[in-house]
Structure 1
Amino acid sequence: MPSKKVLEEKQQVVADLAEQLKKSCVGVVVDYKGISVADDTKLRKELRESGDQYKVVKNTLLKLALKEAGIDGLDPVLEGTTAVALSDKDYVHAAKTLYTFEKNNKGATLKVKAGFIDGKVLSKDDVAELATLPSKEELVAKALGSLNAPITGFVTVLNGTMKALVIALNAIAEKQGVEA
Structure 2
Amino acid sequence: MTREEKEVIIDELSQKFSTTPYFFITSAAGMSVSEVNQLRRQCFDRGVEYRVVKNTLIKKALETLDTDYTPFESEVLKGFSGIMFHPESGKVPAQLIKEFRKKAGNDKLKFKGASVDYSLFIGESQLETLISLKSKDEMIGEIIGLLQSPAKNVLSALQSGGNKLAGILKTLSEKES
Q: 2:9 maps to which residue?
A: 13
Residue ranges of structure 2 left out of the alignment (5+ in a row)? none
Secondary structure at 1:54's aligned position in 2?
A: strand
Pairing partner for 1:22 from 9, 18, 28: 18
Does residue 1:51 correspond to 2:50, yes or no?
no
1:174 Cα deviation after fit: 0.8
Q: Which stretch of structure 1 is more off in the superposition, 29-38 or 44-53?
A: 44-53
Distance 1:152 1:138 in 2: 20
Among all aligned residue pairs of Structure 1 and Structure 2, give the percentage whose two residues are the same amino acid. 25
Q: C-alpha distance in 1, partners of 2:102/2:134?
A: 17
> How far off is 1:100 after superposition?
3.6
1:122 is aligned to 121
Q: Distance in 1 between matches of 2:81 and 2:152?
A: 51
Match of 2:157 in 1: 157
Structure 2 CA distance for aligned equivalents of residues 142 and 42 of structure 1: 34
Larger radius of gyration: 1
**In the alignment, what sits opposite 2:86?**
87
Q: What SS class does the counterpart of residue 70 from structure 2 fall into?
A: coil
Q: CA deviation at 1:137?
A: 4.2
Distance 2:33 2:53 in 1: 17
Residues 79-128 of structure 1 deviation map (CA, whole Å, 9 limit, x = unaligned): 22110112233232223322443355425511101112344432123343
Q: Secondary structure of 2:31's match?
A: coil
**Deviates most, 42-51 or 162-171:** 42-51
CA drift of 1:50 comes to 3.8
Structure 1 residues 140 and 35: CA distance shift in structure 2, 3 A: farther
Relative to structure 1, is the Cα distance of residues 118 and 107 closer, same or farther in structure 2, using a 3 angstrom cutoff? closer
How many residue pairs get matched?
A: 173
Asked if the contact 2:21–2:116 (Cα under 8 Å) also holds between the matched residues in 1, the reply is yes
Q: State the AA in 2 paired with 1:91.
A: G
Q: Secondary structure at the match of 1:29?
A: strand
> Which runs of 5 or more structure 1 residues have no equivalent in the other structure?
none
* SS of residue paired to 1:149: helix
- Could you tell me how far apart the structure 1 residues matched to 2:155 and 2:65 are? 53
Please, which moves more after superposition, 147-156 or 23-32? 147-156
The root-mean-square deviation of aligned C-alpha atoms, in Å, is 2.4
Indicate the residue corresponding to 2:100 in structure 1: 101
Aligned residue identity for 1:176: E
1:68 aligned residue:
64
Q: How far apart in 1 are the matches of 2:139 and 2:165?
A: 39
